[in-house]
Chains A and B, each alone.
Chain A
Amino acid sequence: MKKSHIIILVVIAAAIGIIVSTAGDASTYVGFDEAIALSTSGNQKEIHVVGELKKDANGHIVGIQEGEDRVSFSFIMIDDKGREQKVIYAEPMPSDFTRSEKVVVIGSYQDDTFRASKILLKCPSKYQEEKINV
């Protein structure tokens, strides 16, 4: 076997290893129901949940509470399947949060609440779309 063949084999093996590990370590987009199921089965891996903020009949957002320390807050989110869930975020409210039409929270369940470690926003107006790192 020539050296170049060995190198090619090693490269292919490494590439496959990378792809497999990517798939293995990837998080998933799920609903809150599945997230609860995952957490009760002892899976503490962080997951992504996509949804919207809860609004009343007039379109006003309800359920946002500022935390005692002023740099955290909680809100009520409805996932794509319509399930409501209180989400706690240990950091200040991201800008444009209340204007967002879609919210992605990354985190996991702790007891009955979903603790987000990161929040991503999608804002409605094409011209107000700047996303801001939080």
Chain B
Amino acid sequence: MHYFVGDLGHLFVITSFIASLVTVFAYFKATTVTALDQKKYWLQNGKTGFYLHAAAVLGVCITLFVIIANHYFEYHYAYNYSDRKLPSYYLISTFWNGQEGSFLLWMFWHAVLGIIVINTNKFWEAPVMTVFAMVQAFLASMVLGVVLPVLDFKIGSSPFILLRDALQDAPIFAAQPEFIPKDGNGLNPLLQNYWMVIHPPTLFLGFAATLVPFSFCIAGLWLKKYRDWVRPALPWALFGGAILGLGILMGGYWAYETLNFGGYWNWDPVENAVYVPWLILIAAIHTMITYKNSETALKASIILVIAVFVLILYSTFLTRSGVLGDASVHSFTDLGLSGQLLIYLLFFVVVSAGLAIYRWKEIPTSEKEASVYSREFWIFIGAITLCLMGFQVLMPTSIPVWNKIITLFGGTSNLAPPAEQITFYSKFQLWFAVIVGFLSGIGQFFWWKKMDKEELKKELLPPALIALILFALIITLGQVYTFSYIILTLAGVFTLVTNGKILISLRKSSPSLSGGAVAHIGVGMMLVGIMFSAGYSKIVSLNNTGMLISKEFSEDFNRDNLLLFVHEPRTMWGYDIEYLGERLEPRYHSGYIRSSDIFKTDDRDRVIAKFDLNVASRSYKAKDTIEIRGENTFYEIQLRRGNKTYTLYPRAQINPEMGGLLVSPDIYRTVSADLYTHVSSVMKPSEDEEWSDLEENRIRLGQEFFANDYVATLQSVDRVLEVDGVELSQEDVAVKAGIHIQGEKGDYYAEPIFLIKNKFVGRIPDEVQDLGLRLFLMNIHPETNEFSIGINTRQKDWVVIKAMEKPYINVLWIGTLVLMGGFGIAMTRRIREFRKMKEKGLE
């Protein structure tokens, strides 16, 4: 038992909690005292406190990682989320697999950002860091795991809890308190994906980044510096917008690649819970920029910046408190933290809203009404649209919360979230997206030019014409005939062209200001990409044989799926498609192993090479043990057109605990579309195979013969002294035949054995799985120098696949990258601006 490391971790947790409280106090003092020497003293204390806190957070993370990396399975966290077979990069994702770890990740980013703020911003340090430290205190309390002695109330859930304390009822611990499991539960195979290594840190960095503008806003209200907080907050808001957006997209991309629902966005509550704050953050960025340029929309900026952070807390509450239990497929359930999470949420709602209301009258506003021809007007309309867009998603997602509230007041409500999430949300969000598309085209024009009616006509006409031509081309060539999709395409193309025009004019004069134009071009591309890939996704694996796959399957299944027998080509999507057989995946390097080339062992994760093998760059000798990822089976499927070939490896994942099958797609990417293929039915490994009657041939050494229509050669017959699983005594004889079979795709070897043991004859056949072939060495005829080879055949291996075409999905992915690029340009500009002001000593 390694008690020390856990105790140390717990000590770090407590230190981080207390240090954050001390920091709150010190920075609060530093903000409120007026005497300069006092201020300096408290500032120093605050800084020390926060550094101590940050060091403790780092300590917690390192300790937890040491526990995971060294496989200390006496700790619940390591036991529950990892095992010895996990490669090191997935041990990293084990870290944030549990709720406690993800809180730690969030705290870690806050600590990093806090240190950056301390070192870049002298003026705002004290008030901003007060808010920071307060948030950190709440977060640290979530992983505290301390029971209050008198009240018997547990605060937080510690990641350093021992397995025996976590599973107190398990009988093993009553008998053996020192029991340590040999291996852990392992990481959910779905999460063993490279996106799960980088997606959570990105998302949490985005979460953390929203704290910075919020803290500046609160600091501004607190110090009555209503105008000044916007400048330092803006680059951080842009940073948050970029990172949060990137995090959301990574999640979408993971879903697209790993899950089989065929899309990148499912409108699940967990996804919505980050999408809504992101939309509001984008709205906030727009009003902040407006304010920077024209002194309007300050109140809107304050409301929105506060709303973003509150929504982040709300989404944390939704996904972690268990309130979504009956509504989401993948929310965390209650760790007993729901009360604490609610307090966390309500505290910041009350404090920030209270402060804003208290100061409301003093916040400067511009009295003049914005003209319809002003940029402020259009940007404001855009921000409102984004807010309504978020509101539309927030309302249904919160249905479980409404139910709870109604129950709280004695009512009953049986409202459930919409059953058809995707159709429900899409039908609303589509029209919001249309408005956003048009506004981001028009708004940009107003942004760069003083406009009146005449000017607007003159400016807008050329890009509008180009947009119309391009639009006509796209809908004709892409055959877009649905009304809503036509309008969405128009909106996307319009914003693309108008912003393109602005980009061209800015490129010469001031490229550093082009962030907005670039970002909006990205939005336009995303709209068009989403329209095509989601709206015109179509099933291409249509069963064109005229025969049912099975009477047991539904009509839809028989129509939309394709049955492929090994080595029997079919046509699909203009390609010849051929199933080549089952493949396995080496655990520690790339490549695929043919199932026919190995012997299975009792351990699912180890197989033995039948003969010398080359797998990617690695070579194995016969009888070598190969470590594989036994839960995964791949199905090699080849696509051919002309002289081009491409190979797909869709995956099926077998989880022994549940006897179920999880399938993941493989994607063939072309410039114009993705071919998204997953298996929809596979052979049961346990199925009793029906073999044909044995066919016996007399063969000489070196002679060719036919086995299930394949050309085979008897290459060798040798006496062997060892046979796996059989004990041979001195009188016993074992003979092994080496048979080479020429498949359509590569060669196979079979080694059936004939043995005489205790004067009884035994025959050990060898199966070539890919070819549906089983070979026996039946008998030896020394008088004629011939050998009897027995041949069994069975139905060839098969797999049923479903494939979808996702047209122009690359436009979406490129669009997202362009959007990120736009954020990057804008951020660089605002950081420069901030530096300049700092050099002047104004920050």
**CB-contacts of B137-187 with A (<8 A):** 166-167
- Determine if B326 and A67 form an interchain contact, defined as CB atoms under 8 angstroms apart: no
Q: Name the contact of B414 in the complex, choosing from A25, A28, A66, A120 (C-beta under 8 A).
A: A28
Q: Does A106 contact B (CB under 8 A)?
A: yes
- Determine if B416 and A28 form an interchain contact, defined as CB atoms under 8 angstroms apart: yes
Q: Which residues of B contact A58 (CB under 8 A)?
A: none
Q: Does A61 contact B (CB under 8 A)?
A: no
- Determine if B660 and A92 form an interchain contact, defined as CB atoms under 8 angstroms apart: yes
5 A/B residue pairs, CB under 8 Å, sorted by A:
A47-B419, A92-B660, A131-B332, A131-B333, A134-B329
Q: Does B252 contact A (CB under 8 A)?
A: no
- Determine if A67 and B660 form an interchain contact, defined as CB atoms under 8 angstroms apart: no
**CB-contacts of A120-134 with B (<8 A):** 120, 122-123, 125-134
Q: Which residues of B contact A123 (CB under 8 A)?
A: 333
Q: Name the contact of A120 in the complex, choosing from B327, B336, B381, B395 (C-beta under 8 A).
A: B327
Q: Name the contact of B329 in the complex, choosing from A4, A30, A66, A133 (C-beta under 8 A).
A: A133
Q: Does B461 contact A (CB under 8 A)?
A: no
- Determine if A93 and B328 form an interchain contact, defined as CB atoms under 8 angstroms apart: no
Within the complex, what minimum Cβ distance (angstroms) separates B40 from chain A?
46
Within the complex, what minimum Cβ distance (angstroms) separates A24 from chain B?
10
- Determine if A127 and B418 form an interchain contact, defined as CB atoms under 8 angstroms apart: no
Interface centre among B80, B167, B418, B800 (most CB of A within 10 A): B418
Q: Does B370 contact A (CB under 8 A)?
A: yes
Q: Does B828 contact A (CB under 8 A)?
A: no
Q: Does A54 contact B (CB under 8 A)?
A: no
A45-B418 Cα distance, complex, nearest whole Å = 10
A103-B529 Cα distance, complex, nearest whole Å = 37
15 additional A-B residue pairs with CB within 8 Å, beyond A92-B661, A107-B419, A134-B329: A3-B372, A18-B391, A25-B396, A26-B399, A28-B415, A29-B416, A30-B414, A46-B420, A71-B682, A92-B662, A96-B658, A97-B658, A122-B325, A130-B188, A131-B328
**CB-contacts of A32-64 with B (<8 A):** 45-48, 50
- Determine if A133 and B190 form an interchain contact, defined as CB atoms under 8 angstroms apart: yes
Q: Which residues of B contact A98 (CB under 8 A)?
A: 658
**CB-contacts of B390-438 with A (<8 A):** 391-392, 395-396, 399, 414-420, 424, 428
Q: Name the contact of B680 in the complex, choosing from A45, A71, A97, A131 (C-beta under 8 A).
A: A71
Q: Which residues of A contact B553 (CB under 8 A)?
A: 68-69
Within the complex, what minimum Cβ distance (angstroms) separates B357 from chain A?
19
- Determine if B381 and A132 form an interchain contact, defined as CB atoms under 8 angstroms apart: no
Q: Which residues of B contact A66 (CB under 8 A)?
A: 659
**CB-contacts of B361-411 with A (<8 A):** 369-370, 372, 377, 380-381, 384, 388, 391-392, 395-396, 399
Q: Name the contact of A26 in the complex, choosing from B166, B415, B552 (C-beta under 8 A).
A: B415
- Determine if B167 and A18 form an interchain contact, defined as CB atoms under 8 angstroms apart: no
- Determine if A94 and B658 form an interchain contact, defined as CB atoms under 8 angstroms apart: yes
A96-B330 Cα distance, complex, nearest whole Å = 13
- Knowing A4-B369, A22-B396 are in contact, say whether A120-B329 is a contact too (CB < 8 A): yes
Which residue of the partner chain A has the closest CB to B384? A11
- Determine if B660 and A95 form an interchain contact, defined as CB atoms under 8 angstroms apart: yes
Within the complex, what minimum Cβ distance (angstroms) separates A123 from chain B?
7
- Determine if A26 and B259 form an interchain contact, defined as CB atoms under 8 angstroms apart: no
Q: List residues of A whose CB falls within 8 A of some B CB.
A: 2-4, 7, 11, 14-15, 18-19, 21-23, 25-30, 45-48, 50, 66-71, 90, 92-98, 104, 106-107, 117-118, 120, 122-123, 125-134
- Determine if A127 and B80 form an interchain contact, defined as CB atoms under 8 angstroms apart: yes
- Determine if B681 and A93 form an interchain contact, defined as CB atoms under 8 angstroms apart: no
- Determine if A68 and B384 form an interchain contact, defined as CB atoms under 8 angstroms apart: no
Q: Which residues of A contact B253 (CB under 8 A)?
A: none
A4-B367 Cα distance, complex, nearest whole Å = 12
Within the complex, what minimum Cβ distance (angstroms) separates B374 from chain A?
11
Q: Name the contact of B416 in the complex, choosing from A4, A26, A94, A117 (C-beta under 8 A).
A: A26
- Determine if B326 and A48 form an interchain contact, defined as CB atoms under 8 angstroms apart: yes
Q: Name the contact of A132 in the complex, choosing from B330, B369, B415, B418 (C-beta under 8 A).
A: B330
A104-B417 Cα distance, complex, nearest whole Å = 12
Q: Which residues of A contact B80 (CB under 8 A)?
A: 127-128
A95-B76 Cα distance, complex, nearest whole Å = 20
Within the complex, what minimum Cβ distance (angstroms) separates A89 from chain B?
11
Q: Does B720 contact A (CB under 8 A)?
A: no
A117-B422 Cα distance, complex, nearest whole Å = 13
Which residue of the partner chain A has the closest CB to B657? A95
Q: Does B684 contact A (CB under 8 A)?
A: yes
Q: Does B716 contact A (CB under 8 A)?
A: no
- Determine if A93 and B659 form an interchain contact, defined as CB atoms under 8 angstroms apart: yes
- Determine if B552 and A93 form an interchain contact, defined as CB atoms under 8 angstroms apart: no
B555-568 vs A, Cβ < 8 Å mask (1 yes, 0 no): 00100000000000
- Determine if A122 and B415 form an interchain contact, defined as CB atoms under 8 angstroms apart: no
Which residue of the partner chain A has the closest CB to B381? A7
- Determine if A7 and B369 form an interchain contact, defined as CB atoms under 8 angstroms apart: no
A13-B328 Cα distance, complex, nearest whole Å = 30
- Determine if A25 and B330 form an interchain contact, defined as CB atoms under 8 angstroms apart: no
Which residue of the partner chain A has the closest CB to B556? A90
Interface centre among B190, B336, B372 (most CB of A within 10 A): B190
**CB-contacts of B656-672 with A (<8 A):** 657-663
A15-B483 Cα distance, complex, nearest whole Å = 25
- Determine if A25 and B388 form an interchain contact, defined as CB atoms under 8 angstroms apart: no
- Determine if B660 and A93 form an interchain contact, defined as CB atoms under 8 angstroms apart: yes
A51-B370 Cα distance, complex, nearest whole Å = 56
- Determine if B657 and A129 form an interchain contact, defined as CB atoms under 8 angstroms apart: no
Within the complex, what minimum Cβ distance (angstroms) separates B741 from chain A?
29
Within the complex, what minimum Cβ distance (angstroms) separates B652 from chain A?
9
Q: Does B729 contact A (CB under 8 A)?
A: no
Q: Which residues of A contact B800 (CB under 8 A)?
A: 69
A3-B371 Cα distance, complex, nearest whole Å = 9
